[in-house]
Amino acid sequence: MKKAAMKNAKLERKKLAMALVFAAYCGTANGFDDPFLDVTHGIASCPAPRPPAMSPEQARMEAHLRAERGTRCYLEGRCRLPNSYQYDAEIIPRVKKAILADGRFRDTTVSVLGQRRWVFLQGCVRAKAQSRELEELVKRIDDVERVVNQLSVSR
């Protein structure tokens, strides 16, 4: 079983490396295709968070670290998928849906970014308590490992 896990991890690293080379060749701003969604738009004065961007050179430098971090989760038995970054495309739309369905956050401006089962909350809220409530909501979503709260209070 351990050999199969190592083989899967090695294959995933190769796939990731190929994707990175392709992304660098194409010059895409988000070479790793990390999901980024605008969720709410309730504070007009809030500066719009920007989607992740990096140069092809930065993507090449980041590639090894991402391959290692992504497969470690699987090898340690904490992930069912062979790479923790594979969860993000599914997690981030669920985060958006949960925030919109909750109703308490209509008066915020929030964007979400997913990387290796971590959710980054960016934008503005009306109060510190609202920031904590939003973080707690997102923490309860399946497959979310960590929430990084980068929200600022704007009245």
Question: Hey, where are the domains in the chain?
Answer: 2-153
Query: Residue 27: its pLDDT value, please?
Result: 46
Query: Residue 57: its pLDDT value, please?
Result: 84
Query: Residue 24: its pLDDT value, please?
Result: 47
Query: Residue 112: its pLDDT value, please?
Result: 97
CA 89 vs CA 25, 86, 117: distances in Å: 22, 7, 10
Q: Which distant-in-sequence residues (6+ apart) come within 8 Å of 82 by Cβ?
A: 5, 8, 9, 11, 12, 71, 74
Query: Residue 42: its pLDDT value, please?
Result: 95
pLDDT along the chain (155 residues), means of 10: 63 58 50 90 91 83 84 88 91 98 96 95 97 98 97 90
Query: Residue 60: its pLDDT value, please?
Result: 83
